[in-house]
Amino acid sequence: MALNRTNSIQNLQRFSSPEEIVTALHHELDAIKAACKKDDPDMDRAAEDFIVLFEQYLHEKGDCIDWGKIRPPAADRIIPHRNLPAIREDTTADMLGKLAVLKLNGGLGTSMGCVGPKSAISVRDDLSFLDLCVRQIEHLNDQHEVRVPLVLMNSFNTHVDTQMILRKYKHKNVEIRTFNQSKFPRIYKETLQPLPVDASDSTEWYPPGHGDLYRSLMESGELDKLLDSGKEWLFVSNIDNLGATVDPAMLQFLHEKPDCEFVMEVTDKTQADVKGGTLIEYDDRIRLLEVAQVPKEFIEEFKSVTKFRVFNTNNLWINLRAIKRVYDQETLRMEIIENTKTLDDGRHVIQLEQAVGSAIQSFHNAVGVNVPRSRFLPVKKTSDLLLVMSNLFAISHGSLVLSEHRVFKHLPLVKLGDSFKKVDSFLRRFGNIPDMLELDHLTVAGDVSFGRNVILRGTVIIIANEGERIDIPPGAILENKIVTGNLRIMDH
* Model confidence pLDDT, tens digit, residues 86-100: 998 888 999 999 999
Task: Kindly indicate the confidence band of residue 33, based on its pLDDT and cuts at 50, 70 and 90.
Answer: confident
- Tens of pLDDT, residues 98-151: 999 999 999 999 889 988 999 999 999 999 999 999 999 999 999 999 999 999
- Tens of pLDDT, residues 41-95: 678 888 899 999 999 999 887 667 889 899 888 888 999 999 999 998 888 999 9
Residues with active-site annotation: 380
How many CB atoms are closer than 10 A to CB 225?
16
The answer, yes or no, to whether residue 370 has pLDDT greater than 90, is yes
The answer, yes or no, to whether residue 9 has pLDDT greater than 50, is no
Cα 157 to Cα 90, 123, 203, 221, 288, distances in angstroms: 42, 21, 10, 21, 28
- Tens of pLDDT, residues 206-250: 999 999 999 999 999 999 999 999 999 999 999 999 999 999 999
Task: Kindly indicate the confidence band of residue 26, based on its pLDDT and cuts at 50, 70 and 90.
Answer: confident
pTM of the model: 0.92
